Amino acid sequence: MIVPFAHVLIFAAILFTMGLGCVLARRNLIMILIGVEIMLNAAAVALVGGSAYWRQVDGQVFVVFLMAMTSAEVAISLAMVVYLRRRRGTLEADRFDGLRG
């Protein structure tokens, strides 16, 4: 393996943190979804790195699942984004506070 495993993990961690930062900092629903995608991809990178390091195929299988799941998630969440935009006329996440106690 050309790239050391530690570098792969550090890269995945940086990617994850950036995704998390995006989710926490942004208020636009689409941007939050993009942040979530980045976090998922960071996890995928870590899995692929682990698979290459231990020479096991499980990690790559997981990543295939992850991609399928991600595409499904994106399909649903974008549909909801369109619906919410039509209904409330905004995508500001803080405006959707119907669960306030």
Check binding of 2 to other proteins (CB under 8 A): no
* Binders in 24-63 for other proteins, by CB under 8 A: 24, 27, 32
Check binding of 66 to other proteins (CB under 8 A): no
Question: Residue 93 has what DSSP assignment?
Answer: G
Least distance (Å) between residue 36 CB and other proteins: 10
Residues 95, 48: Cα–Cα separation, whole Å:
38
Calculate the CA 100 to chain-centre distance.
Answer: 26
Binding mask 78-97 for other proteins (x = CB under 8 A): ---------------xx-xx
Return all residues near 55 (Cβ < 8 A) that are at least 6 apart: none
Residue selected from 20, 48, 81, 84 as contacting other proteins according to rule CB under 8 A: 20
Rounded to 10 degrees, the C-alpha dihedral 64/62/67/73 comes to: 140
Stretch that binds other proteins, among 21-29, 41-49, 50-58, 69-77 (CB under 8 A): 21-29
